[in-house]
Every structure is written in C-alpha cells, then in structure tokens.
Amino acid sequence: MTNVAPRPRLWWVGTIAAAVLGIVLLVAVWAKVLDPAAFAEQIRTEKLDFLVPAGTLALFALALEAAFGLALLLGVRRLWVLVPAVFLVTFFLFLTGRAWWLSAHGLRDAAASCGCFGNLVQRTPAEAFWQDLLLLVPPVLLAFVGRRRQAPVIPPVRTAVVALGAVAVALFAWKSPQLPLDDLATRLRPGVRVDGLCAGSGKGAVCLSTVAGGLQKGDNLVVIADISKLSGGAADPALAAAVDQLNTAAGNPDGPKIWLLTAATPEQLTAFNWTMGPVFQVIEAPPELLRPLYRQLPRSFRVKDGRVTETYAGLPPPTQVAAARNPA
C-alpha cells in the first residue's frame, strides 16, 4: 500500500491554469515552428540577436517555449518550471509593450512598400499587449495555486517527455524550411480565393484582389519575389534567368497572364525594371499582405478566375512556363 499525499485544496485550479498556459505556449510554438525564418525576422526586428544569430536563437527559443508548454500541460508545476514561465511571460509582455511604445512614438520603421496604404497590421501593438496580458498573466499566476509541495522535484517520466519534446521541436524547426509545408504554414494554398487573402481589418483591409484586380479573371501565373537584391544594380542570375522565361511566357497571348508581386520601395522597383526589363505585370504589394503568403522567396502560384489552383516552392516549374509558352 503506497502512501499518496492528498491533493491540496484548489489543486484543480492550478492544474487547469497551467494546462491552459501550456496549450497557449504550444500553439504559439506550432505557429512559429512551421516558419522559423519569420520568427528569426521578428527576433531581428526586436534586435534580440546581439549575442547569438537570429536563426540559432529562434531554434533555442522554440525549444525552450515548447519545453515550458509541455511541462505545464503535463502538470509539472515545480518552481523550476513556474518561475522561468513567469520570466517568459514577463519577457513577452515587455516585447509587446515596447512595440506599443515604439509605435506610439513613431520610432518603429515601417516596412518597405509603395506607401499607398496605411497601417495594415491585423492587431495593433496596443491590442497585442492587452491580448497577451489577458491570455498569459492570469494562467501563469493561477498555476501557482494548489501545488503539491512534497512531490518529487523532477518527475522522471514527464521530465523525459518534456526534454524529448523540446529536442523534437528544435529539430523540426531546423528542418521545416526544407519540408514541403508551405501550404500548411502559409495562408496561400490551393482552393483559397484571392479576395480572401487580406491584410488589415474592416473597410481599410487590402486584399490580393485589391492590389492585383486582374487575378479575379482568367488564368494567371504569379511569382512572389524579393527584388531588393537588385537595388545596387547587381542582377541575381537565377532571377535574371527566371525573368527571361517569364518574359517569353508573357509574350504568349494564349498563355496565363504573368505577374510578379513584391514588397519594394520605388527605388528598388526602378532598379528591377531597368536592370531586368520585365514585360509582365510587376505589382507592389504591402509586406503585411505578402508575408503570410510565403516561408521562403520566391514562391509561385497559379490562379484561375480568382481561385488559387496550385502553389510552387520557388519559381514556377519550367513545365508551367513552357505550358504558358506552348499551350496545348
């Protein structure tokens, strides 16, 4: 007969709160692990990569966040979990609070764009701060309630699961850019309509159909690309070759209409147009609209009558461009 200590009063409150916080952290990990490059970009934006490169830091942070999330979900409410969790939550609040302050004082640079549209963020820095505060602070505080003080400091099985989970997350994040997960990780996937791919909210929302109205009709082959590499006048050979192919395809009146979407400054666009000589539609789109559509650039997709039918990692496959040149 084993001697099991009775559960403290309100044990269930702390356990549920810890589980809620654990789920929130794991959902956040899932969103980031599919596109660690975007997470690394955020790290660079927040200037947190002063000691370790942003990519490495992103993997480490994801493993750490996953470890705490798993531990809390599995009910490991020891101080070695809860105290760092408090620090983690405080750090997140510091970041969103700082973003709010910088934005309110006009100290955060807007991303490169044509400048036609206003602020297209899905949630304002103030909203982000208050949402994080409400979502993270109550559970992290309640997770301290009703802890079993005489339980083992390091529960072996659950700790092993946490360690394995953290390592698995780091490995997955490391390899995920090479895995064919673009359709899962981004909003651009077969079946979606271009008028449903939007940035911003309400009447001021900008959709893909707003910036490239022609996608609503007919057969279209679209490339999302970064043209900023050309701003110094040097041509990226791969992109140069692609522009040649796309120019040829654009010359075929029976093929799909060719588009290039890019978030670029007017200078970058001038450099691209005069260095590469595209004869297809080059459309400037707000970065807030484009960023959720890719993990790595370039990315391409086919749109028929406003609906995405296929997506391609990288430039369109030669067969697609050839089909554009020589339609059956």
The residues of the shown chain that bind other proteins, judged by CB under 8 A, are 114-119, 195, 203-207, 209-211, 213, 216, 233, 247, 251, 266-267, 270-271, 273-279, 283-284
Q: How far is the CB of 119 from other proteins (least distance, A)?
A: 7
Please say which residue, 222 or 276, places its beta carbon nearer to other proteins.
276
Q: Between the CA of residue 239 and those of 65, 298, 322, what are the distances in Å?
A: 37, 9, 17
Q: How far is the CB of 261 from other proteins (least distance, A)?
A: 12
Please say which residue, 89 or 285, places its beta carbon nearer to other proteins.
285
Q: How far is the CB of 200 from other proteins (least distance, A)?
A: 8
Could you tell me which residues come within 8 angstroms of residue 28 by beta carbon, excluding any fewer than 6 positions away? 65, 69
Residue 48: closest CA among 59, 40, 36, 37: 40
Q: How far is the CB of 311 from other proteins (least distance, A)?
A: 24
Give the pairing type, strands 198-199 and 206-207: antiparallel
Please say which residue, 61 or 212, places its beta carbon nearer to other proteins.
212
Please say which residue, 8 or 287, places its beta carbon nearer to other proteins.
287
> Token digits for 88?
């983690």
Q: Between the CA of residue 250 and those of 276, 305, 307, 317, 328, what are the distances in Å?
A: 14, 18, 20, 15, 16
Please say which residue, 268 or 311, places its beta carbon nearer to other proteins.
268
Could you tell me which residues come within 8 angstroms of residue 5 by beta carbon, excluding any fewer than 6 positions away? 148, 150, 151
Could you tell me which residues come within 8 angstroms of residue 283 by beta carbon, excluding any fewer than 6 positions away? 211, 212, 259, 260, 261, 262
Q: How far is the CB of 303 from other proteins (least distance, A)?
A: 16
Is 307 within 8 Å of 191 (Cβ atoms)? yes
> Token digits for 159?
């700790």
Please say which residue, 114 or 137, places its beta carbon nearer to other proteins.
114
Q: How far is the CB of 300 from other proteins (least distance, A)?
A: 21
Q: How far apart are CA 265 and CA 227, in angstroms?
A: 10
Is 302 within 8 Å of 310 (Cβ atoms)? yes
Q: How far is the CB of 306 from other proteins (least distance, A)?
A: 11
